[in-house]
Each structure stands twice: as structure tokens, then as C-alpha cells.
Amino acid sequence: MVSFILCLLPALLATSAQASTLTCKTCAGSADACRAAQGTCRVDKATGGCYSVAEDITLEGIKTMGFASRCTNNYNMGVKDPVTLTLGNGTYLRINTTWCNTDNNCNSAVPEVPKGSTTKNGLQCPTCWSLSTDTCDSHIAPCTGDETYCIDFAGTIRRGSEKSTFAAKGCATASTKVIKGGMGLFSALSTFMFTKATSKPAEKTPPSGASPALGRFSFALYLPGLTGLLLVKLLA
């Protein structure tokens, strides 16, 4: 009986090890490359998982599109919804990451790249982008589509062996609310690590032709004079 248990033990340990790990698909490059059969990686199922990402990014006038599938050791650290940011002057990030930790190769499907929009939504944000610095000079620009939040980010961007600080302000989707300082945003080709990350609802765009002199603060300055004129009319 003891001999039988000793013989069975390696098989039981192997089964237990397989149950506690997850196999993920790995690929990098074009959408077609990621649809084809690629390699695999293994990760602890208790804390890790699989993810796939599709991106369309234009920075410094250079447009890149990429796809990737990988393992992650921390399943809870990523943004689970598509993210789009418009930073002004043709600069934008559109990243869609899908996550799973259910079955082996659960990240086999290639996600769609988020679509941008040119339809103004009546909101506005400060926008700017700068490399090699943690600040940037912004200007107000209208927001479009589903980008209803204003972001103010700073941190580092790594692509391959290259690494640089960056600063960014702009219109963004509500999915950016979960991004905090110390978090990372992983794309197919780059890794963004944030030292500062704030996101708040965007303000409404002022009506066309509205005069700043008639804003609520300026009106308050004229209120005593208007009240005096009204009393004069009533007492006359």
C-alpha cells in the first residue's frame, strides 16, 4: 500500500502543479502575426493571468500600430477597459487590453484597436505632450467622442532599451480614472509608468461668442451697482 502511494505521489503533484498554473499565448507584431500560432508562457494562476493588447499611438509625429499577447504576474494591476487619450496637435494614445485568467490560452483572440472620433462632445480640457520633462505648456482644446475626462499625467515611457520622462494633459475616456501614481499602462510596444496621474470630469465648452466679462465672477462685481440703480428706480 505504501509503495502504491509513493508511486502515485508524483502524478498527484504534477496534476496539482498544472492546476495552479496558467498557459498564455505569446505574440508580438501585426494583427495577422498574433492570429497565427505563436509561443506560450506560464504563470501562477492565483495571482497572474493572460492579456492581449492592440494599440494605435501617435507621438512626436510618429504613428505606430501594434499587437501583443503575454503573461502577467499581477492580474489586478492593469486597466481593464479600452483607453483613449487625445493630447493635442495630432498626438494621441488608443490602447485596448483584454485580460483573462480562466483557461489555458484564454488570450488567443486579437482585440480591436479603439477607434477615435472627430465629433465634438461639448467638453474641453487643457492639452499638451512633452518628452524629457515632467511638465508641459497646455492650451484648451475641445474633446470628442467618449473622451469626457481631463487627465494630467507624468512619468516615464520605455520602448525597448530607450527610456524617457514625459508629461501629458488632454481629453480621455472615463477608464483613465483607475490610473494612479505608481501604476503602469502596458501597450504592445511601450510601457508607461506614472509618477503622477489625475483624472477628473471635463468642463463644458463655453457657448460660442460668450464674453468672459459676463462670467459669474465678473457679474458679482457689477451686482452692487445694479442693485443701487434698481433702488433709485423704485424710490423715484
- Judged by phi (left if over 0) then psi (alpha if -120 to 50, else beta), residue 89 lies in left
Query: Per-residue pLDDT for 46 more than 80?
Result: yes
Query: Per-residue pLDDT for 224 more than 60?
Result: no
Across residues 45-57, what is the average pLDDT?
Answer: 94
In a domain, 225, yes or no: no
| Among 147, 149, 145, 84, residue whose Cα is nearest residue 114 | 84
> For 73-110, what is each residue's pLDDT tens digit?
988 777 888 999 999 999 999 999 999 998 999 999 99
Burial readout 197-220 (b: 16 or more C-beta within 10 A, e: otherwise):
bbbeebeebeeeeeeeeeeeeeee
Query: Per-residue pLDDT for 216 more than 50?
Result: no
In a domain, 232, yes or no: no
The per-residue pLDDT of the chain, averaged, comes to 84
In a domain, 217, yes or no: no
On whether the CB atoms of residues 125 and 168 are closer than 8 A, the answer is: no
Position 222 scores a pLDDT of 45
- Predicted TM-score (pTM) of the model is 0.77
- What amino acid occupies position 29? G
- Candidate from 13-27, 85-99, 112-126, 222-236 with smallest mean pLDDT: 222-236
Q: The domain containing residue 26 runs over which residues?
A: 20-110+119-207
In a domain, 214, yes or no: no
On whether the CB atoms of residues 129 and 153 are closer than 8 A, the answer is: no
In a domain, 202, yes or no: yes
Across residues 36-53, what is the average pLDDT?
Answer: 91
Q: Which residue has the cell 494599440?
A: 55
Position 11 scores a pLDDT of 45
> For 126-185, what is each residue's pLDDT tens digit?
999 999 998 999 999 999 999 999 999 999 999 888 999 999 999 999 999 999 998 888
Q: HEC states along 118-171?
A: CCEEEEEEEEEEEECCCCCCCEEEEEECCCCEEEEEEEEEEECCEEEEEEEEEE
Position 14 scores a pLDDT of 43
Dist CA 86 CA 150 (whole Å):
10
Position 116 scores a pLDDT of 87
What's the pLDDT band for 33 if we cut at 50, 70, 90? confident
Position 77 scores a pLDDT of 74
In a domain, 140, yes or no: yes
On whether the CB atoms of residues 84 and 28 are closer than 8 A, the answer is: no
Across residues 8-14, what is the average pLDDT?
Answer: 45
Across residues 193-205, what is the average pLDDT?
Answer: 96
In a domain, 226, yes or no: no
Structural domains counted in the chain: 1
